[in-house]
Structures are given as structure tokens and as C-alpha cells.
A and B are shown apart, each in its own frame.
Chain A
Amino acid sequence: NAGVTQTPKFQVLKTGQSMTLQCAQDMNHNSMYWYRQDPGMGLRLIYYSASEGTTDKGEVPNGYNVSRLNKREFSLRLESAAPSQTSVYFCASRGLYNEQFFGPGTRLTVL
């Protein structure tokens, strides 16, 4: 089992460009999450999907959109990237006992 996978691992964008971060899990989990991690700020929730077909805003949703494509895949889209979106992005899924399984992260720089 690969667990939670994310692509790409690294990305550099110019201000105003768009991109989609991909996430997939092979653990048959219902709930999936997108976080951003910034120094000293911990993990902040951007969006989550409690189950296939549903998505909800988290703490910092502005500038992002998500799609729960199917039970396995949950993508995060930046329509018009801004330097404030420079961060490390983690996708996660929720296990049977409420634990979070995290992917390896995408390191995004917006110039």
C-alpha cells in the first residue's frame, strides 16, 4: 500500500499562474483533507471532504478550490497564485480511529 501520495513534490509558479495539486489514497478512507504548513503556524486546514461528493471550507480557504474526484482522489487548485500561497501543502486522509495519514507534501513557491 502506498498510503497517501501527492504530486508534484516541488513546484515554482509565477504570480497569476494556476495549478492543481493532486492527492490520492489507497486505504479506502472516506475523509480527506488539505493543509498548508508555514513556519511557526502549524498545520492549517484549507478544505476537507468528509465523504465522496462533499467538500467544505476549512480555516484558510481563500484562493483555493478543491475537487473530490472519487473516493481515492482529492485535488487542490490554485486559480491565480499569489506569493502568500508559498507554502508546503499536505494532503491527508482520516483513519478508522480518527488518526490522520499524511502525504509527503508539495513544496510550492510563488514568485
Chain B
Amino acid sequence: QQQVKQSPQSLIVQKGGISIINCAYENTAFDYFPWYQQFPGKGPALLIAIRPDVSEKKEGRFTISFNKSAKQFSLHIMDSQPGDSATYFCAASSSGGSYIPTFGRGTSLIVHP
């Protein structure tokens, strides 16, 4: 059972455009929603994260939008650059228990120059 559904599976954007990746979750106990960025041949690295007490978090060109009632959150990359080309994973976890994160299946982003 996939508890975090991520879409699209792949995304091609022109340089300067906006990249949008969406995730939907089912478990209402989730209270931590990070996004990870992974370059080819490397391990994933935390990009940005949000908790459900806010609806939006922005760090530079990267923004998470969070809709608690719809159980959805999304990553927006403004002014996308070729260097943003990577695989992006959303994840969700709850503070209770063993903090086991559930990952989306990933989105391969290609930004054309």
C-alpha cells in the first residue's frame, strides 16, 4: 500500500520556468513533510521541509505548499535552472513511534537550457 503518492513521474521544464511536483498522503498522523533532492550517483539530500502548522514555506527558489484538509503538499521550483535537474522525493512521517518515513516514488526533473 503506497501511503504517499507522488506525481508526475517525470517532468521536463524549460530554463526559467516553474516546476511543480505534487504529493498526496493518507495517514493523518503524519506531521513532517520533507522533500529530498538526488543527483545521479549520489544519495538523497534534504532540500526543504514543512510541518502542518503552516501552509507554505519558502527557501530561495524552492517553496512547499501544504493543504492539510486535502492531505496534499507540493514542491514549486521557481526560475528552474539546468542545475536543478535531479530526482525529487517527497516523504512523510509522524513524530510518534519510530519516525519511519514513507517516501514517494520520485520525480525525475529535467530542465532544458
Chain B interface helix/strand/loop/mixed: loop
Q: Contacts A42-B106, A48-B100, A58-B100 given; indicate if A98 touches B43 (C-beta within 8 A).
A: no
Q: Does A42 lie within 8 Å of B42, measured CB to CB?
A: no
* Cβ distance B66 to chain A, nearest Cβ, rounded Å: 16
Q: Tell which of A65-73, A75-83, A100-108 binds the partner.
A: A100-108
Q: Report how many residues on chain B are interfacial, defined by Cβ distance under 8 Å.
A: 24
Q: Does B105 lie within 8 Å of A40, measured CB to CB?
A: yes
Q: Does A2 contact B (CB under 8 A)?
A: no
Q: Does A31 lie within 8 Å of B42, measured CB to CB?
A: no
CB-CB under 8 A from B105, the residues of chain A are 40-42
| Chain A residues at the B interface, C-beta cutoff of 8 Å | 4, 31, 40-45, 48, 50, 56, 58, 90, 92, 94, 97-105
| Chain B residues at the A interface, C-beta cutoff of 8 Å | 6, 9, 32, 34, 36, 41-46, 49, 89, 91, 93, 95, 98-101, 103-106
- Complex CA gap A45/B6 in Å reads 17
- Complex CA gap A40/B61 in Å reads 26
- Complex CA gap A16/B103 in Å reads 30
Chain A interface helix/strand/loop/mixed: strand
* Cβ distance A21 to chain B, nearest Cβ, rounded Å: 13
> Nearest residue in A to B104 (C-beta to C-beta)?
A42
Q: Does B101 lie within 8 Å of A100, measured CB to CB?
A: yes
Q: Does A102 lie within 8 Å of B95, measured CB to CB?
A: no
Q: Contacts A56-B98, A98-B93, A98-B95 given; indicate if A40 touches B43 (C-beta within 8 A).
A: no
